Amino acid sequence: MNDSPGWATPGSTPSDGERPGTDGGAQQPSTPPAQPEQPARPEQPEQEQPAQPEQPAQPEQPAGDPKWSAEQPPPGQWSSPGQSPEAPPAQPQPTAGWGQQPAGPYGGQYGPQYGYPGGPGQWGPPPAAKPGVIPLRPLGLGEILDGAVATMRTHWRSVLPITLVVATLVQVISVILQKFMLDDLTVSTSEDVSTEEMIDTLGSTLATSAVVQFIQVLGTIVVTAMLTMVFSRAVLGQHSSVSDAWRESRPQLLRLIGLTLLLAFGAILLGAVLILPGILADNIGLGIVGFLVWLPLLIWLGVRFSLASPALMLEKSTVLKALARSSKLVKDTWWRIFGITLLTGVLAFFISMMIVAPFQFIGIIVFGGGLESMEAGSDMGNWGMLIVPAIGLIIAQTIVMPFQSGVTVLLYVDQRIRREGLDLELARAAGLENYGTTGG
């Protein structure tokens, strides 16, 4: 039986007696009959069929020993296996062209649901259900990025207030802290600065940066917790208000803070173990080796636990279980998640710089006394120098934070679809009946 309807078997040799137009050679006349008796039509005398004397006569073949005829059939006329000798040769169906679906036992697909990747004429999976911002199937890089942007555009009434309010609060607190901590700080480029002044300046700058970064981390935690709920509903095509997002994320907020602090403490502890011995031994080479070991190890662990936040929020799990879930989902796909995370970070960095740089330039020119004043290190605590760049940071964070959070949530959803068939559960949650049970 031919398993591929319409496909002829290439290179097959017809069995004896199965040539089209013959009957085993037993009933084939030795010479084709001439037609001299056919009268010419009066109205069309030029259409008279002459005799065919030039065709050579074929020798008679015994019935028990059929052979091939002298003339071979033209190429492409092989009959399908199992075809009777009397039946005319089956016309082979043309293969599917570019962008066409070949005929098959599943209604034009090679598989019950996602098709047969790489099959003739099939250049990717068939269209999947898309109740929300992403199709319910394994996602590509473009679909993950597009899903994050589509959620920001479609559900901006929920996304924009969350990020705008949190970013504004973070920057207001940061500006006030910087004003009072850097008010008496003057950076001098003269060569007669004492070592004590340099240490005080460096210490004040690092302390200010640490406090600002801590506030930034707390704001990011709140945004991540609430936006995770918004994005999870956007996958199902459902809207989520700010109050709904806060109500759903609030029970896990303390655990998310604990998860973030645990990861930060682990990174610091790992650096202390690897770098501190070289510093204490006053050995620069040992310290550099420790740093070169610490940095790639930190990146590897950061990617391995990058999905812990959405796992903790959406699965309502504990901190340790969220870390274990992230490690399981990232396993064997570390490089893919690392590449997507790195690309997202690079895009977010350039977007932020494009927005913040003009505000910083305006603050320096208008309120900082120009580039000369900046080189002299004066007016570092000027209100205008602090407020104008903060406005740029608010705008940048309002755009960048939901983009990065959305990519992380969609990466988590994608990994669960690939490993656990989450698309079926999502389809049921979206109200799609009998999804995945029939072909197509």
Write down the pLDDT at residue 84.
45
Look at residue 162 in the predicted model and tell me its pLDDT. Answer: 93
Residues belonging to the chain: 440
Give CA–CA dist 158/227, Å, rounded: 9
C-alpha to C-alpha distance for 198 and 188, rounded to whole angstroms: 9
| Residue 131, φ and ψ in degrees, nearest 5 | -70, -25
Q: Which residues are CB-contacts of 407 (< 8 A; sequence separation ≥ 6)?
A: 144, 145, 148, 340, 341, 344
Token readout for 181 is 């901590």
**What pLDDT, in 10s, does the model give residues 65-118?**
444 445 444 443 433 344 444 444 545 444 444 434 444 333 333 333 444 444
Tell me which DSSP letter residue 47 carries: G
Q: What is the pLDDT of residue 118?
A: 46
At residue 175, what are phi and psi to the nearest 5 degrees? -65, -45
pLDDT of residue 24: 42
pLDDT of the residue at 402: 93
How many other C-beta atoms are found inside a 10 Å radius of the C-beta of residue 325?
22
172-185 as b/e: b if 16+ CB within 10 A: ebbbebbeebbeee
Whole-number Å distance between alpha carbons of 155 and 153 = 6
**Which residue type does 200 have?**
D
Residues 224-236 have pLDDT tens digits of: 999 999 999 999 9
18, amino acid identity? E
285's torsion region: left (phi>0), alpha (psi -120 to 50) or beta? alpha
Instruction: Measure the CA–CA gap between 221 and 439, rounded to whole angstroms.
Output: 42
Question: What are the boundaries of each domain within the chain?
Answer: 142-428
Which CA distances in Å does 390 have to 31, 161, 349, 357, 397? 101, 18, 16, 11, 10
pLDDT for position 287: 87
Nearest to 70 by CA among 90, 56, 51, 85: 56
Structure-block tokens of residue 212: 């600002």
Per DSSP (E only), the strands in 275-430 are none
In angstroms, how far is the first alpha carbon of the chain from the final one? Answer: 25
Q: Supply the Cα-derived Rg of the chain in whole angstroms.
A: 38
Q: Which residue has the tokens 């990232």?
A: 330
d(CA 401, CA 403): 5
SS3 percent helix, strand, coil of the chain, rounded to 5, is: 55, 0, 45
Q: Which residue has the tokens 């303390």?
A: 254
Q: 169: buried, middle or exposed (CB in 10 Å: 19+, 13-18, 0-12)?
A: middle
Kindly state the tokens that stand for 184: 């008496």
Ranges of residues in the chain with a pLDDT under 70 are 1-126, 182-201, 203-204, 368-381, 436-440
Give residue 206's Cα distance to chain centre: 38
d(CA 300, CA 297): 5
| Residue whose C-alpha is closest to residue 223's, from 246, 240, 239, 200 | 246
- Is residue 210 within 8 A of residue 174, CB to CB? The reply is no
Whether 393 and 345 have beta carbons less than 8 Å apart is answered as no
**In this structure, how many other beta carbons lie within 10 angstroms of the beta carbon of residue 331?**
11
Tell me the per-residue pLDDT of 104-156, one tens digit each, with 9 for 90 and over: 333 333 333 444 444 445 555 557 888 999 999 999 999 999 999 999 999 99
pLDDT at residue number 379: 54
Contact 136, 426 (CB under 8 A): yes
